[in-house]
């Protein structure tokens, strides 16, 4: 009987791993690959801020897991992991409900020989009072689409009421990391587009966007030479940037900081901090840290079970030579780890020792919508090179194309690029529903 590899989580890392293992092992009958996810479709998480602003129609950029499984020789199972039995090497999937609350799929078990947990992360509100009740999050496609509907509803209400002059809408974004910064710029672009389409009772200058960061500068994970021009560009776009401002309380209409500031906001987004899903904490004795990440060795095997691996945001993987620090929760890390595990499983089936993961930082790129982009590229030959403007924008777009190539191959990705080009000439520049 062939080795059964179960991968839980169809994000960037998990889906790339299932696709590549399916091609390398599943096609040849060397292993049976099973991908488990609670959704039927995949969308690249770094695009969710564009879905929220309406710049991207998620239904056109989604990937269907069932079709991907057929094309790449793996099996897809719809379900959400709810438990683990390490002794009998099986996972438990919770019952799946349909839109009316009826049982679509019963609770069931899946056996494994090797298990890979790639369940990503969710936003960490740090227990801030009122955050969970009054803020929107951008962890999933559904959450991003909910924000877009609320944003569009403000414009439609203002447009439908005759005799009203210019309306105002206030948006507060907590967290000036990549998601918060990119969302702020994308929302400013959306305000311009909505006015251009005739929803002009809320003018672009009347969308008040406030970006709130507890630390001393925006993009705290990136070099200061990157964060400074981004800060200036955001202010040029009319975004109010507050640094050294830790949000202490959130109400239905306001955010309060520990410094005594009060920020009115009709739409509030929390984009500060991450944590792994709570079910990973004390998961049948596996070691986890304070933000629920599974602690793994450099081979990406969990510390207490050699048959269970973790990758991406849900894994606390040490950085050799950087004592006390783990690999950062970034898309490039998940991609690198998926590539390593493809080699690992080939060697595991051959009875060979597993390779160790060494994080390579190739730099970071930040998109400021259609206005600009900025970032740095890192390599052994050129060191660290700062990019701005059109060239940085092209490199930023290429990251998504590389993700598509890993999933679809070169020829189909080229066809998708052609389709996107044609679509731009026949569809509105912003999703208006």
- What are the residue boundaries of the structural domains of the chain, listed by start? 3-121+276-349, 131-270, 363-426
Report CA Rg, the chain. 22
| 164 C-beta neighbours (distance < 10 Å), count | 11
- Sign of the C-alpha dihedral, residues 22, 24, 26, 27? positive
Round to whole Å and give the CA distance between 338 and 343.
9
Instruction: Say how far apart CA 115 and CA 113 lie, in whole Å.
Output: 7
More confident residue, 38 or 421: 38
Mean pLDDT of 219-247: 92
- 165 pLDDT higher than 60: no
Cβ count within 10 A of residue 397: 14
- Residue 84: exposed, middle, or buried by beta-carbon count in 10 A (0-12, 13-18, 19+)? buried
3-121+276-349 and 131-270: identical CATH topology: yes
Return d(Cα 375, Cα 347) in angstroms, integer: 37
Percent over 70 (pLDDT), the chain: 94
* 383: pLDDT strictly greater than 60: no
Which pLDDT does position 168 carry in this prediction?
A: 82
Q: Nearest CA to 53 among 186, 231, 182, 181?
A: 186
C-beta of residue 241 within 8 angstroms of C-beta of residue 248 = no
The average confidence (pLDDT) of the chain is 90
d(CA 386, CA 368): 15
Coil, strand or helix: which one is 287?
A: coil
Which residue in 271, 216, 211, 261 sits closest to 235, CA to CA? 211
Give me the CATH topology for the region 3-121+276-349: FAD/NAD(P)-binding domain (3.50.50)
Which residues make Cβ contacts (< 8 Å) with residue 83, sequence separation at least 6?
Answer: 91, 92, 279, 284
Residue-wise pLDDT tens digits, 416-429:
888 777 766 666 76
Using DSSP's 3-state secondary structure scheme, residue 60 falls into helix
Give pLDDT tens digits for 240-279. Answer: 999 999 999 999 999 999 999 999 999 999 999 999 999 9
Question: Domain 131-270 belongs to what topology?
Answer: FAD/NAD(P)-binding domain (3.50.50)
Give the Cα separation of 314 and 324 in Å (integer): 17
Q: What is the mean pLDDT of residues 392-401?
A: 78
Give the model's pLDDT for residue 162.
Answer: 65
Give the pLDDT band of residue 399 (cuts 50, 70, 90): confident
With 50 as the cut, is the pLDDT of residue 113 above it? Answer: yes
What's the average model confidence in pLDDT over 4-28? 96
Q: What angle do CA 293, 299, 305 make, to 5 degrees?
A: 65
Residue the block writes with tokens 């004390």? 282
- The pLDDT assigned to 13 comes to 95
pLDDT of residue 410: 87
Whole-model pTM?
Answer: 0.91
User: Could you give phi then psi for residue 431, rounded to 5 degrees?
Assistant: -70, 125
Residue 388 has pLDDT above 90, yes or no: no
Give the DSSP H or E segment for 5.
Answer: strand 3-8
Q: Which of 45, 271, 275, 44 is nearest to 137 (CA)?
A: 271
Residue 345 phi, psi (nearest 5): -75, -30
- In sign, the C-alpha dihedral spanning 293, 294, 295, 301 is negative
């Amino acid at each position: 009987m062939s080795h059964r590899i179960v991968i839980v989580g169809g994000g960037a890392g998990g889906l790339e791993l299932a696709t590549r293992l399916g091609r390398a092992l599943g096609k040849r009958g060397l292993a049976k690959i099973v991908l488990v996810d609670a959704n039927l479709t995949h969308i690249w998480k770094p695009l969710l801020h564009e879905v929220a602003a309406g710049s991207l129609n998620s239904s056109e950029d989604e990937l269907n897991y069932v079709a991907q499984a057929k094309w790449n020789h793996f099996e897809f199972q719809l379900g959400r992991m709810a438990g683990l039995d390490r002794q009998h090497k099986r996972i438990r999937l919770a019952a799946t409900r349909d839109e009316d609350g009826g049982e679509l799929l019963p609770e069931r078990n899946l056996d494994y020989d090797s298990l890979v947990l790639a369940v990503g992360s969710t936003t960490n509100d740090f227990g801030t009072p009122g955050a969970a009740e009054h803020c929107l999050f951008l962890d999933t496609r559904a959450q991003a689409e909910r924000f877009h509907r609320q944003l569009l509803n403000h414009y439609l209400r203002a447009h439908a009421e005759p005799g009203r002059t210019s309306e105002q809408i206030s948006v507060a974004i907590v967290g000036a990391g990549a998601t918060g910064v990119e969302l702020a710029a994308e929302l400013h672009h959306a305000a311009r587009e909505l006015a251009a389409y005739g929803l002009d009772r809320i003018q672009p200058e009347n969308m008040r966007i406030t970006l709130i960061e507890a630390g001393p500068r925006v993009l705290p994970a990136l070099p200061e030479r990157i964060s400074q021009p981004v800060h200036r560009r955001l202010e040029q776009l009319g975004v109010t940037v507050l640094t050294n401002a830790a949000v202490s309380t959130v109400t239905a209409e306001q955010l309060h900081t520990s410094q005594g500031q009060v920020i009115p906001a009709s739409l509030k987004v929390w984009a500060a901090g991450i944590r792994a899903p709570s079910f990973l904490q004390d998961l049948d004795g596996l070691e986890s840290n304070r933000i629920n990440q599974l602690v793994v060795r450099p081979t990406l095997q969990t510390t207490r079970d050699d048959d269970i691996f973790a990758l991406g945001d849900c894994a606390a993987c040490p950085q050799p030579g950087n004592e006390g620090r783990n690999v950062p929760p970034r898309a490039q890390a998940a991609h690198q780890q998926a590539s390593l595990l493809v080699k690992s499983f080939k060697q595991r089936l051959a009875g060979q020792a597993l390779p160790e993961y060494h994080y390579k930082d190739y730099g970071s790129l930040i998109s400021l919508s259609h206005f600009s982009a900025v970032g740095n590229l890192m390599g052994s030959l050129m060191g660290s090179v700062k990019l701005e403007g059109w060239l940085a924008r092209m490199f930023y777009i290429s990251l998504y194309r590389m993700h598509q190539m890993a999933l679809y191959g070169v020829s189909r990705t080229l066809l998708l690029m052609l389709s996107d080009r044609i679509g731009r000439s026949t569809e509105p520049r912003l999703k208006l529903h």
